[in-house]
Structure 1
Amino acid sequence: MSLDNTSQPGRPGSEELVPSRYALRVGDIDVMVVSDGVLPIPAPVMAHNVDPAIRAAWLEDMFLPPEILEWPLNVIVVRSGGRTILVDAGLGMDPDLHLPQAGRLGQRLEAAGIDLASVTDVVLTHMHMDHIGGLLVEGVKDQLRPDLRIHVAAAELKFWESPDFSRASMPQGFPDALRRTAKRFVNEYHNQLRPFEDEYEVAPGVVVRRTGGHTPGHSVVRLASGGDRLTFAGDAVFQVGFDRPDWHNGFEHDPEEAARVRVSLLRELAATREPLVATHLSFPSVCHVAVDGDAFRCIPAVWDY
């Protein structure tokens, strides 16, 4: 796996004039953050339990558009103990949703010199389609190893047998797309699935831990090597979650529990001072967490050139 985080002339995808990969090390563990593009989402989805005027004021204060937000989509590739681990797999392509700026993972892995055949493990933070869809792109399964292991919480698999969206507040079309994608994923990859209950060490220093909240089996990935640490938080934290951790995201299946998980995780990361990476924070999303009264601050890490 190449860990060069700059575009090189002549490489596939080098015509893109946007940063799409960023490499760092956690002790002896190699990590690369890879962008899958951006996902346009109606602004009310980020906080459906607050007065629209309050939400609009926050968006204005943050220099964000009032109606449609472009959520970044980040995954990470981790190398430890001879294993290459893909954490989440991006959106892939769902023609019914018309999302042309997302689903870039395949070309960006190729541009980074990462061969799908080298991936030994996939870890899923949860089974929303923007985390599993990349594995359903035509031709991808044929490139993956037959002994690929896909790690996902048993509670997540159970939930998607008959998903309950009664407490979510998603845009039109998304519930059906989520059900359809999860069902297809389980059908195509059931032989590779390796469910875990609460925690599982995928490779030396690479531990996936179930948190619940966002979905019943939502999990985070904790990396540790030497004295270094890093947490990939999946969808436990969104941009607004630092300032307003009690605001409910429309994709959360248990909003109160999701808020509790978010606050607990952010307090822990503020105490340990370890870096955080999350799916929907601005690429490459590497940041630190500081406590600010009853809220938190996201302190972006200085890019390591």
Structure 2
Amino acid sequence: MLNRRTFLGAGAAATTAYAAASFVPAWAQNAPNFGTPTLPNPGFRRAKVGDVEVIALLDGVARRPLGEEFVKNAPLAEVRALLASQGLSTDYIDVPFTPFLIVAGGRRILMDTGLGEFGGPTTGKLLAQLSAAGFQPGDIDTVLISHYHGDHINGLRNKAGEFVFAKAKVMVPAAEHAFWMDDVKMAAAPEAMKGAFNNVRRTFAQMPAGMLQPFEAGVEVAPGIRSIAAYGHTPGHTLFQLQSAGQSFFYIADLTNVPALFARNPDWAVTFDMDAEAARKVRREMFQRIVDSKAMVGGFHFPFPALGRMAPSGQGYAFQPAA
């Protein structure tokens, strides 16, 4: 594991050699020839779930070209046809990044952290949105991490190595932490993945005692918030269900990247899923569970406001944004 002294040096090396897989994931980089996405203003949205407030905080949007590799098991022509049927571009994909803040009594619980200082100019807006919504980093008492991809964990530390949410405990899925911190798995990983392993070590190196708190799947991680194993996208990918006063909210993290594609066709596999078959299975199961429970849903890569409902549509499901 990296220590404080080697933090910056290792970070620089990882940035140079593995930028696409670590500090700035490929899906978090704009393709200039397709223009720059316009960010909504304000970039936060509040919703009530029972007695609890849920706030979507847009960290930014990246625009990436749509190529054959994006959907691994469907012809590009079919992918473009589905996008066109919804009035979306067939040349590029806009990928938003949206953490969520839960305000419950005196608790301030942040779900995922965005790209922090390591993304492009149209990302890294989380702290500004947090401030606009009336909160500061020191107000956060708990950070819940869904999985260890860079766009979910890079906001934990800044480029100087300082912890952004210094007063918060950082709760992480035990299965996810075990995988990415396994030196044997890192040594056996393809070169293209080693940057992601390095980035995990950069992020979690020498957290103060008591800050890092792994949890097992299915446990209550905070009052009214339960973790749900949704393995496939990554080995420990985890969702969170909030329940309050008879109402429910599911934060589904990366259960689907681009709901216009992978909710409408849950059997399609995005290039980022590490175990495509497991991801497809859990995607269908969770979307049906959400529909059956009439719950509100929040998706990290959903179009702003990233809050809404899921409804059956054809062979899959459609995201209905909150008004």
Q: TM-score, normalised by structure 1?
A: 0.83
Map of 1:24 onto structure 2:
47
Q: Does 1:155 align with 2:175?
A: yes
Please give the secondary structure, in 2, of the residue aligned with 1:77: strand
Deviation track 1:17-45 (CA, whole Å, cap 9, x = no partner) reads: 62300111111112111000012333235
1:255 corresponds to: 276
| Alignment check: 8 A CA contact 1:33 1:74 kept | yes
Does the residue aligned with 2:110 lie in a helix, a strand or coil? strand
Change in CA separation of 1:204 and 1:275 when aligned onto 2, cut-off 3 Å? same
Q: Could you tell me whether the CA contact under 8 Å between 2:221 and 2:227 is conserved in 1?
A: yes
**Matched length:** 277
- The one-letter amino acid paired with 1:32 is I
The corresponding residue for 1:103 is 124
**SS state of the match for residue 310, structure 2?**
strand
C-alpha deviation, 1:60, in angstroms: 2.3
Aligned AA (1:74): T
Q: Are 1:272 and 2:293 an aligned pair?
A: yes
Work out whether 1:194 is the aligned partner of 2:217: no
Offset at residue 204 of structure 1 (A): 1.8
Q: Which secondary structure does the structure 2 equivalent of 1:114 belong to?
A: coil
CA distance in 2 between partners of 1:144 and 1:285 (Å): 23
Deviates most, 40-49 or 75-84? 40-49
Three-state SS of the structure 2 residue aligned to 1:64 is: coil
Aligned partners of 2:189, 2:60: CA distance in 1, in Å? 26
CA distance in 2, matches of 1:142, 1:293: 45
Per-residue CA deviation, residues 130-181 of structure 1 (Å, 9 max, x unaligned), is 00111122468455345x2111111101121235777xxxxxx974542332
Aligned partners of 1:256, 1:143: CA distance in 2, in Å?
Answer: 36
Secondary structure class of the residue paired with 1:189: coil
Partners of 1:288 and 1:154 lie apart in 2 by: 29
Q: Percent identity of the aligned residues? A: 29
The one-letter code of the counterpart of 2:61 is V
Q: How does 1:72-221 map to 2 (within 5 A)?
A: 72-94=96-118, 99-138=120-159, 141=162, 144-146=165-167, 148-161=168-181, 162=185, 175=193, 177-189=195-207, 191=209, 192-221=211-240
CA distance change for structure 1 residues 236 and 143 in 2, over 3 Å: closer, same or farther?
Answer: closer
Structure 1 residues 138 and 188, CA gap change in structure 2 (3 angstroms):
farther
CA contact (8 A) 1:237 1:262 kept: yes
SS in 2 for 1:212: coil
SS of equivalent residue, structure 2 residue 122: coil
Q: AA paired with 1:189?
A: M
In structure 2, runs of 5+ residues without a counterpart are 1-38
Q: Of residues 198, 222, 225 in structure 1, which corresponds to 2:244?
A: 225
TM-score (norm 2): 0.79
Alpha-carbon spacing, 1:142–1:194, altered in 2? closer, same or farther (3 Å): closer
Structure 1 distance, partners of 2:189, 2:308, is 31
Say whether the 8 Å CA contact 2:305–2:322 is kept in structure 1: no
The answer to whether the 8 Å contact 1:86/1:119 transfers is: yes
Question: How much has 1:190 moved relative to structure 2?
Answer: 6.6
Alignment partners' CA distance in 1, 2:43 and 2:106: 25
Q: CA deviation at 1:48?
A: 1.7
Q: Contact (CA 8 Å) 1:81, 1:203: kept in 2 or not? A: no
Instruction: State how 1:5-24 maps to structure 2 within 5 Å.
Output: 18-24=41-47
**Displacement after TM superposition at 1:265 (Å):** 0.4
* CA contact 1:81–1:204 (8 Å) conserved in 2: no
